Structure 1
Amino acid sequence: MILCVGESLIDMVPEGANYRPLPGGAVYNTAIALGRMGVPTGYLWPLSRDRFGETLMRPLAEAGVDTALCPRSDRLTTLAFVSLEGGEARYFFYDEGSAGRMFSPEDLPEIPETVSALFIGGISLVPDPCGAAVEELVRRVRHRMPIMLDPNIRPFFISDSNAYRARLERLFAMADLVKLSGDDMDWLMPGKSYEEAAAAILARGPRVVFQTGGSAGARAFWAGETQIAQAVRVEVADTIGAGDTFNAGVMAALDHAGALSRDALDRLDAQTIAKALTLGTRAAAITVSRPGANPPWAHELEGQPA
């Protein structure tokens, strides 16, 4: 089972002069997408007992995601008000004292042996105590299972960039797979090309750095020749959840190929990485073709060109 650890929240998406509340959060979206693709998936993050918490629970259950590890909280659910600019999503967070924000290392459960891989990322890595909780969990399980990290950097959410950069440095050193958008790379290493940035991160320890670029497609940098997947052309409704779904496609493809284990990562080959890139871009294309973070189900990916 792949365990996804990180934020869930309510995206307040503009609808005319009003806002429509939709379940979201970078790591939550990846968990939903993995579950819909038929991959055994678990989710770990505090879920509020408020009405928004119940709204978040329903899609997890519908996608078959195991929430047994999720603590329930009387604190409120995080809200993210979404602004769409040219189809691109921008976010404004209401997160102080929320259920997820106050998740601490002392709240971490024991991770069962059924968990075979860990996915982390999103704004949950930025503030404490929740950022410290995720980092501590990675430290505890990294020798047991592969770790995939997507920081999904939101600069306006970061109050202490030095502390956040230091945390990412520690996490890069413990991660096996890293996904970064072009914007992420520009923020992390301004002035460097994507190739230079990826090489610098690979030198810290990860096996593969996946770089997404929207309509420019995606690339995978690793010890071998760079792999490239062209973007699938669709009419874009918005980009909410695109990168999160890409992550799920990558992990689903690696899991299907039996490549999502510590031993298998030592034997990664170009064909396996290329298939992971392809499924990631195909799945993301479906998500951007419809409003909100609405990842595809397995049957929607069947019969499409690989």
Structure 2
Amino acid sequence: MNSSFESPVQTIHHPLLAARKIQLSIKRDDLIHPQISGNKWRKLKFNLDTMQQQGKSELLTFGGAFSNHIHATATAGKLFGFKTHGIIRGPELDEANPTLHYAKQCGMSLHPVNRITYRLRHEQAYLAQLQAQFPNAYILPEGGTNAAALLGCKELAQSLPSCDVIACPTGSGGTLAGLIEGAPQHTKLLGVAVLKQADYLIEEIKLLSNKAKQQQNWQLLCDFHDGGYGKFSDALWQFCQTFSNQHAIPLEPIYSGKMLYAVWQLIEQGYFAEGTHIIAVHTGGLQGLDGLKYRGLID
């Protein structure tokens, strides 16, 4: 899964930025691939290499009904010709939901489980049981976060031009951990947690990244979740639409939109010193907009 294409960095021009003397750039990882966008491409890249090295011909992973990761994994299976299985947080499977409908069209086998079973997705005994059930499958954690995924996110950090701050949305912690691994020590890294009570991720990130244990140049912001995972206020959705219209950058309110809204509020509050250059990583996930429309949460 090699992409010689490196996504562009787009500079944002706005009166607020001029007034605060802040330079804001967006790393357009949403453009890295039409279906496997952003951090999902980064995380899958080295995992597919590992899968090959282990001689596995199938890939099994986990996700909710509207998961970007499920969408990306199903696409990869179709593109590169391997069987994919999705353990879907259920218990009911709504195959009319655009994410699952798409995954099925790509040939992914969907296995709905109830929430109690889904909670076992990190337990060794349950994973061993799945491995016995699917002997040819390479098992990838929810969100695609593991040691191989970090290599892809480390590469992302190394591809960025020099800056003072790198910001990214944080769900499972893998993208932020990989960025910490790849970024120079003088760069500050800000993760914007997209879920409620995300403080536990700080320890997860330290487990994933040795540098995160040793360095003080990163921070997880836990107050911008806007109601919790998958939730968003009218103000956030309004911001996403306005930003998209002004800068021709599509945003969804679950990940990158939430992160950019947080960065924007911090700029308004004077959080960053004058002259700061911020690169905000657009991690893709735009397929999520179809799911929000499907549920009637946006027009």
Aligning the two structures, in what range does the TM-score lie when normalised by the shorter sequence? 0.3 to 0.5
Greater RCO, CA 8 A, separation 6+: 2
Q: Write 1 or 2 for the structure with the bigger share of helix.
A: 2
TM-score (norm 2): 0.35
CA radius of gyration, larger in: 2
